[in-house]
Structure 1
Amino acid sequence: MTSHNEIQPFIRCDQFNFIKFQVKHLVHAHSTVKDPAVLNAIKYGALDKIMNLFPEMSEDHQVFHKITEIEQDIQGKSFLDALKSYVIPFKPITEKTVGKLFPKAGKLKLQFLKNVDFKELSYLGWYDIRSDKKFLIFDYKGKLMGIHGTFRHKTKGICSLCNHHGEVGLFMANVKSGKETFTNRGNYICDDSHECNQNLQRLDKLEYFIENLKN
């Protein structure tokens, strides 16, 4: 069997968020449920849900099994800290990368990139005050793709990327719809892209959003 030291990163950010949710649910169950049989069902149910994310992984793999021992926040944090070493980081983004993705955008303020944890990204998003636009970078089928657009009508609602309720705004991009024609397309997405990334537990809605906006 492969030792833990030889395991390459294999967990996507959205999958890691799903695991975090299972840990949170498990800790909450231990503080509210007294029936050992029910607790057993919850903890092994959590393990099954996680293992189902990785169908190619053999059942004897020990990376996730410690979740069944978690009862308190401190144990959950320790488990997640250890697991984070297996998270696949988002492709490196530098000022040069951004310049290539948005050649007509001019000089963008990108100091925030120094503080970005790329293991916590399913996509990169930020609002640029000077140009009054929101910029999004996706890893689409193994290749970086950049889209920018207006961001208006802030309200409370459901984000079309992470499917969580919170502060959202209408992102609209001018995309090519024919040989020489363009159309505005978009949807409501989280105002805070960092929070959105934290809430993303699957990629289907994100991929649908990209498909709708790509040329």
Structure 2
Amino acid sequence: MIHVKETADRTGNAGGLPEAFIRNDQFNFIKDQTRILVTGQATGNDAEVLNVLRHLAHEKVFKLFPNLTQEQKAVLNPLAQVKETADAEAFLEQLRPYVIPFKAVTDQSLKKLFPKAKKLKGPKLEALDFKKLSYIGWVESSTLMYLVTEKDGTLHGVQGTLTRSHKKGICSICNRHSEVGLFTAKTKSSGQDNYTKRGNYICQNSDTCNSNINSLDRLNEFVERLQK
């Protein structure tokens, strides 16, 4: 059992523990692997098949972290012992202190990211759990949507409109089936006043999206496509 102290350093890690090394999307990937192991254990009795599932889960998770220390390996190794839902929940709870929080933002930094939004309200920052975020997304004035992402330690802001579709579909960011809406942003093209609209369907609820993201690839591709 990993005992977590109450004090935490600026990396979001609890005092006395190895440095946080797991991003939110990686935590979600690990969570997905625990679900596979629990489902496999519940539906199959073949020991060889279950061993293969455990080996694959272990291999996939360790592949996320090419330069693991021995301490970090010890944190992840209990994955192989997950059999039931209670095991998965206990394992994931012990991983929480090692999750890297999303880069800190303030009301002032948000205003700098969106200088043209003169009446920007922003999200309720005190209500956000930054350890459960791969990006920050919120809606203002019913249709205006703002996204804040982080890449290479730098925050990036994307402003657009969200047209709610009232139907379920595949989100371009998390690649899961959910209530989606069409996010559209204007990007400047050739010429002084020429703009091109780009967009795609994403989760209407960014909390749901953040809990589903198990890779940053689609998120980065989505933002890059809008900023071209």
Q: TM-score, normalised by structure 1?
A: 0.90
**Partner of residue 102 from structure 1, selected from 114, 124, 132:** 114
Q: Does structure 1 residue 211 correspond to structure 2 residue 224?
A: yes
Measure, in 2, the Cα distance between the counterparts of 1:58 and 1:73.
28
Letter in 1 for 2:200: N
Q: Does structure 1 residue 182 correspond to structure 2 residue 204?
A: no
Task: Give the C-alpha shift of residue 179 in structure 1.
Answer: 5.1
Task: Give the C-alpha shift of residue 6 in structure 1.
Answer: 5.0
Task: Give the C-alpha shift of residue 5 in structure 1.
Answer: 4.4
Whether the aligned pair in 1 keeps the contact of 2:174 and 2:219 (CA below 8 Å) is yes
Whether the aligned pair in 1 keeps the contact of 2:122 and 2:138 (CA below 8 Å) is no
Task: Give the C-alpha shift of residue 106 in structure 1.
Answer: 2.6
Measure, in 1, the Cα distance between the counterparts of 2:95 and 2:41.
21
Q: Which runs of 5+ in 1 are unaligned?
A: none
Residue 171 of structure 2 corresponds to which residue in structure 1? 159
Measure, in 1, the Cα distance between the counterparts of 2:16 and 2:150.
27
Letter in 1 for 2:54: K
Deviations along 1:165-210, one digit per CA (max 9) or x if unpaired, are: 1211111111222352321111111111111111111111111111
Measure, in 1, the Cα distance between the counterparts of 2:87 and 2:141.
41
Q: Which runs of 5+ in 2 are unaligned?
A: 1-14
**Partner of residue 41 from structure 1, selected from 52, 61, 74:** 52
Aligned pair in 2 of structure 1 residues 33, 84: CA closer, same or farther (>3 Å)? same
**Aligned residues, how many?**
211
**Partner of residue 20 from structure 1, selected from 23, 26, 31:** 31
Deviations along 1:120-140, one digit per CA (max 9) or x if unpaired, are: 11111011126x301100113
Aligned pair in 2 of structure 1 residues 111, 159: CA closer, same or farther (>3 Å)? closer
Aligned pair in 2 of structure 1 residues 186, 141: CA closer, same or farther (>3 Å)? farther
Measure, in 2, the Cα distance between the counterparts of 1:161 and 1:90.
17
Letter in 1 for 2:212: N
Residue 116 of structure 1 corresponds to which residue in structure 2? 128
Measure, in 1, the Cα distance between the counterparts of 2:135 and 2:222.
12
**Pairwise CA RMSD of aligned residues?**
2.0
Task: Give the C-alpha shift of residue 51 in structure 1.
Answer: 0.6
Task: Give the C-alpha shift of residue 111 in structure 1.
Answer: 5.5
Letter in 2 for 1:128: E
Q: Secondary structure at the match of 1:62?
A: helix
Measure, in 2, the Cα distance between the counterparts of 1:140 and 1:213.
15
Letter in 1 for 2:47: P
Q: Any runs of at least 4 consecutive aligned residues in structure 1 with deviations exceeding 4 A, and if so which?
A: none
Whether the aligned pair in 1 keeps the contact of 2:28 and 2:214 (CA below 8 Å) is yes
* Stretch of structure 1 that moved more, 152-161 or 9-18: 152-161
Letter in 1 for 2:197: N
Measure, in 2, the Cα distance between the counterparts of 1:59 and 1:38.
28
Task: Give the C-alpha shift of residue 100 in structure 1.
Answer: 1.3
Residue 55 of structure 1 corresponds to which residue in structure 2? 66
Measure, in 1, the Cα distance between the counterparts of 2:97 and 2:76.
13
Deviations along 1:139-164, one digit per CA (max 9) or x if unpaired, are: 13321111111111513211111111
